[in-house]
Structure formats: structure tokens, C-alpha cells
Structure 1
Amino acid sequence: MATATLLLPARHRLAGQPLPVDVARALGRADRQSGQAGEREQLRRHFRLVPDHWPVAALTRQLDAGDAEGATWLRADPARVSPDMNGARMLAYGEALALDAEDTDQLLPALKPLFGDAGFLLDAPQPSRWYLRLPAEARLPAFAPINDVLGDDLFAHLPEGDDGRRWRALLTEAQIVLHNHPWNARRIAAGKAPVNSLWFWGGGRLPQSVTTRFRQVKGQDTLLRALAHAAGVTAEGEGGAVDALIDLRHLRQLDVLVRDALQPLLAALARRELRVLELDFEDGDRFTLRRDQRWRFWRRPLTRLGGADAGLTA
């Protein structure tokens, strides 16, 4: 029999509605663990990288272009920032800017000499994901993940120290080039957001290996797809019953999660079509459900996600 693991958002994003009786009972009787919160730690629970690092740029580059071997890669993603009283706030990046090939054809030639003079090659195999190719031995400072910067002051997340000085200068120069580029004026006139900044993040080299216990990975998230690709796993997987990892982190409505995923999977568990169902929340909480837990009748139902959890009865 197969197993299914659901990648889910943090529980507080699904809080507020009571759980249906059958789901509340099943979660109350489930085995429960707590782990580290965050997207990175959630994915690391299911993928093992050797060496143990997190080179997002190299992984997604291999997915996008297949040429990540032999170099250090850094994402230089297009972004929109807006000045405010404290500095400059990132309002959008990547796919949210609705970029196409014409945008990259217009903007990248103006930026390439800036990075070429620094010894880096800038290109964009996907309009929303831009990359810098660096020498394999390049030293990089710690860059903040772009999701941590979104909505916040850019300058609070810039790399520090001597290693960061060069990248702070490159960012400033790139912002000047983009601010003065006539293509941004055309985007604004067309009702689109300008591309007036970059964000450097995700640096590193491609891992020697990526492994996972899953034979099928379903989801549209780029990093998840890149990890699955590196591990040799496809969305289709193999025929028959296989261990599957299913990405539902985009969900924000509890009723949709219950109707489309939890209740059908609990029914499959009851029919012995599924051996184990695991719910992995981004806040680190995990529930493991098995058919034999139906005998734990002394445990209270978990009536809500994200609220006060019911414990065991005496």
C-alpha cells in the first residue's frame, strides 16, 4: 500500500473554521510531532542533499536550463521596490511582475555589462527567474531568501561585511540602470509594474546528490519541482501505488482542503488503499494518520487548526 504526504501552509492560515467531525476525530487520534518551521525546513524533511546545503539558484537553474554543473549560481530576480520613509520596500518580484521574453530582451542587455565587468554572466532562461553564473570557487555572503524580503525594507536584508560590500554596490548600480531604462516607462504607461531592482539570493553549487523516499511529487512550486527533478522523480511517478508528496501550501480555505484532500484520503485510509497519511504544516507541526488509530477512542477530537489544541483525556 502507498503513503501520501501533504505539504500544507502554517496552521494559522487555515484557522477560524471548525473541523468536520470525521476529520477532527482522525486528527485527535493521530500521532503528532513538532519540528522546525519555515519553507526550507519543511522541504528538508523530505529531501536529502549531499553536501547538506540549500543552493536554490543551482537547483532551479538545472530545472530551467540543465547547465548548472561546474559553476556557482546566484539568483538575481527582478523586483519592484518603492521608496518609503525608512528606505525602499519590496512590493513584488518574479512571476508577480508578469514578465515575458520581450521584457528580458529589453532589460538584460543594459545590465549585462555591469555584471560582466565584475566577472559574472547574467541571463534569464525564464522571464521571472534571472541568474548570475559565477566562478565555481566564488565566495558569497549570506543572502536573505526573497520571500523574507517581500513587503519589507530592502536595506534591512542586504548582506553585511566586506563580502557583502561588493554586492551592495552592484545592487545600487543595477537599480540606477533599471530606473533610467526607457522600457520601464513603457511598462508603467501600459499599466504594469516597473522592474526597478534585483534581489540576489539562493547562491551555491549544485549538490552531488538529492534523494527522497517519494516516487511521485505533485505541485507547481518551482523549488519543489527542482528538488524532485534532481532526485529523478516526476509528477507522474510510476504505475500503481506509490509513495506520493503532494504540495497544497497554496491553500487558504479549510473547507477546500477538507473536501478535496482530507476526506477522500481518510476514506482511502479506511479502505486500506492507503497505508499512511501524513500532514506536514509549514509551522513545523506534523500529523501521522493510520487506520489502526481508530481504536484510540479515548482521545479528544482536534476541533480546530491553529487554535487551542485538545489534549488526551484522562
Structure 2
Amino acid sequence: MASAQTITLLLPARSRFGGQRLSEATGRALARADHSRREADALADVLDVLPRGWPVAAAARQRDVGDAAGAIWLRADPAYVRPDINGARLLSYGQALNLTADDAASLLRPLKPLFGDAGFPIDAPSPSRWYLRVPAGSKLPQFTSPEQALGADLFDELPQGPEGRRWRALLSEAQVVLHNHPLNAQRAAAGLAPVNSLWFWGAGALPDRVQSRHARIASDDETLTALAALAGAQVQARPASWDGELTRGDALIDLRDARDLAALENDWFAPLLEALAQGALARLRFDFDDGARYDIARSQRWRFWRRQLQSFVGIANDE
């Protein structure tokens, strides 16, 4: 097995784990590790994008079709919005809706004249990734990513200001079209969530340059994977657990959605620490979303006087 210079685990903020207990092996390794802080945002540290920003739609469009140059792109992903007593909430979007290519084509058919007449042609090279082509130089409002909006009050997450007014009106018209679409009656009869809205996000043009020091990136995050592909990294979906396949070249594994420390220990920490002990890895980095970093190397086993960490509670206050 070829040795990797570094395996980086991108992890949630340590506070997310509360008082969950670290295993003896992990607590010992972190106590003996080199500890530092990252000042940049986690993704900004992984990806160097010029000009600055996160033009996810253009990056994903280039990956999916290869025609992103010369326009601004906006994702208009299929979504399920549920009304409630206080308004409405985004409950599902994109891949989670399990649309087929035929489903997407059927839903798009009445939407194409609506968006085409507005000057924003819509298409779906993937059933879960829908795109609007926006003329270069157009002014766009700020759009919220679906991950951030999920479960939140829809009104608070819609684009605001003078530019946002036009997009809110377009969304309302699209919602009427989708509400009346016969496919949604079929989905409801089958116990599936309707596709009754769109989610606009990820606006921007293709960046001039994207670089990453990671040769391989395993993630389910669309922003990270779409832009990492532009950087030339080998991108893949995150496996369920460590399988040893990511040791060929510097690799990053995105685990920011993890909340169960015991599952992390079993699926990732324990096998990676064992690989490090056996010399299969040169270094293992724990990179937390709160900026804390722990760089673990085999040579640190001689730091036996450092007291083992029991949990992450209180550590941030002691730094």
C-alpha cells in the first residue's frame, strides 16, 4: 500500500459532540498530537478559488455538461416545501426527492416557457440538479444554500432587496405551475413528497482558478465536490467507513455532518489510527469546523506524559 502524506478528516465543531466520551486510543492520540488553529473558513482552507466566492452552480454545470463558460449560472433544484401555521419550510430538495430523468423532464416541460420568457433558460442534465442560465453581467441578489435553509422559515431564507423581488415573483409562479402538475398527484398517491417548489442557489460564473492541495476528496457536499473537480482533485462520494482506498495521495474526508462520536470512532478514528501505527499513513489530521486542528504522527507515541483527553468538553476554553 502506498503511503499518503496526510489523511485529513474534516469534522464538525467539537461542541457538537457535547460530553460524548472519546475512546482511549483517540483520547491518547489527540493529547499527544500537535495542536494548532486554522484562521480561515474550513472550505476556504481546502479550496483556493479566484475570484473569491462559491459559484457552485457554474462549477457543477461545468462538471455535468462542460458548457459553463460565458454565462452566470444559478441552481434551481427541485424542492418540497411544506406550509405550516407560521408560513412554510423547506423540507427536502435535489437528490433526496428521488426523481427519475423522466420525472424531471415532465416537471420541466411547463416550467421552460415561464423561465425562458423571463430570459433564464432552465434545464436538468441531472434529475436532481436543475440549472438556470443567466446572461453575463446580470445583477443577482444573495441566495441561501439549501443546507442552510433546510427546516427554516422560508420567508427568512428567500432573496431580499430590489433584485430579490423578481426572483420571489418567479418562484411564486413556478410553485403554482408545480402545484398543478399531475406528477405530484401521482407522487402523493405513492406516498412520496411532491415537488412543489424550486430552490435558487449557488449563483456565479465559472471561476478563473481553483486549486487544492488534496489529490483526493471524499464528500457528499455539493459545494466542495463541484469546486474540487475544477481543481483537478479526484472526487468521490464519502464511503460509509474507512476502507483503505484513500491512501493513494493526500486525501480529505468530509465528515462535518457527523454527530455520533461512537460511530466516528468505530468507522473512522480506530482504523485510521491503526493504519498510522502500522506505518501505512504518514500523518493524520483532525480538522474541526471551529478551527481546531490536531496533527497526529507515529513519532508522537513518545509523548506518553501528556494526559489522555476524555471528551471535547471544556477544551476550547483552555486553548
**What TM-score does the superposition give when structure 1 sets the normalisation length?**
0.89
- Paired residues for 1:178-257 under 5 Å: 178-235=178-235, 241-257=248-264
Contact kept, 8 Å, 2:90 with 2:151, in 1: the verdict is: yes
Contact kept, 8 Å, 1:75 with 1:202, in 2: the verdict is: yes
Unaligned 5+ residue runs, structure 1?
A: none
State the Cα deviation string for residues 114-143 of structure 1 (Å, max 9, x = none). Answer: 111111110111111111011121111111
Match of 2:281 in 1: 274
Match of 1:303 in 2: 310
Match of 2:242 in 1: none
Tell whether 2:34 aligns with 1:31. Answer: yes
State the Cα deviation string for residues 11-53 of structure 1 (Å, max 9, x = none). Answer: 344444321212101112223334479xxx3222111011111
Aligned residue identity for 1:297: F
> 2:315 is paired with a residue of what secondary structure?
coil
- Paired residues for 1:1-314 under 5 Å: 2-35=5-38, 41-235=41-235, 241-305=248-312, 307-309=313-315
CA shift, 1:297, in A, is: 3.5
Residues 219 and 90 (structure 1 numbering): CA distance in 2 closer, same or farther, change over 3 Å? closer
Q: Distance in 1 between matches of 2:308 and 2:260?
A: 20
Residues 207 and 189 (structure 1 numbering): CA distance in 2 closer, same or farther, change over 3 Å? same
Contact kept, 8 Å, 2:229 with 2:235, in 1: the verdict is: no
Q: Distance in 1 between matches of 2:247 and 2:11?
A: 25
Q: Distance in 1 between matches of 2:172 and 2:156?
A: 14
CA shift, 1:244, in A, is: 1.3
Q: Distance in 2 between matches of 1:92 and 1:150?
A: 7
Q: Distance in 1 between matches of 2:248 and 2:132?
A: 41
Aligned residue identity for 1:103: D
> 2:270 is paired with a residue of what secondary structure?
helix
Contact kept, 8 Å, 2:56 with 2:222, in 1: the verdict is: no
> 1:73 is paired with a residue of what secondary structure?
strand
Aligned residue identity for 1:282: D
CA shift, 1:86, in A, is: 1.8
Contact kept, 8 Å, 1:74 with 1:203, in 2: the verdict is: yes
Contact kept, 8 Å, 2:78 with 2:93, in 1: the verdict is: yes
Contact kept, 8 Å, 1:299 with 1:311, in 2: the verdict is: no
Residues 150 and 110 (structure 1 numbering): CA distance in 2 closer, same or farther, change over 3 Å? same
**What TM-score does the superposition give when structure 2 sets the normalisation length?**
0.88
Contact kept, 8 Å, 1:15 with 1:254, in 2: the verdict is: no
Contact kept, 8 Å, 1:4 with 1:243, in 2: the verdict is: yes
CA shift, 1:109, in A, is: 1.1
Taking only the aligned residue pairs, the percentage that are identical comes to 56
CA shift, 1:262, in A, is: 1.8
CA shift, 1:253, in A, is: 3.2
Q: Distance in 1 between matches of 2:247 and 2:190?
A: 50
Runs of 4+ aligned residues of structure 1 deviating over 6 Å after TM superposition are: none
Q: Distance in 2 between matches of 1:286 and 1:143?
A: 31
State the Cα deviation string for residues 84-111 of structure 1 (Å, max 9, x = none). Answer: 1221111111112111112111110111
Aligned residue identity for 2:78: P
Contact kept, 8 Å, 1:301 with 1:310, in 2: the verdict is: no
Contact kept, 8 Å, 1:3 with 1:277, in 2: the verdict is: yes
Aligned residue identity for 1:274: L
Aligned residue identity for 2:293: R
Aligned residue identity for 2:26: V
State the Cα deviation string for residues 210-242 of structure 1 (Å, max 9, x = none). Answer: 111122223344333322211112148x99852
Comparing 212-221 and 92-101, the one that deviates more: 212-221
CA shift, 1:257, in A, is: 2.1
State the Cα deviation string for residues 129-177 of structure 1 (Å, max 9, x = none). Answer: 1110111211111111111111011111111111111111111111111
Aligned residue identity for 1:284: G
Comparing 215-224 and 73-82, the one that deviates more: 215-224
| Residues paired across the two proteins, number | 307
Aligned residue identity for 1:25: R
CA shift, 1:310, in A, is: 8.7
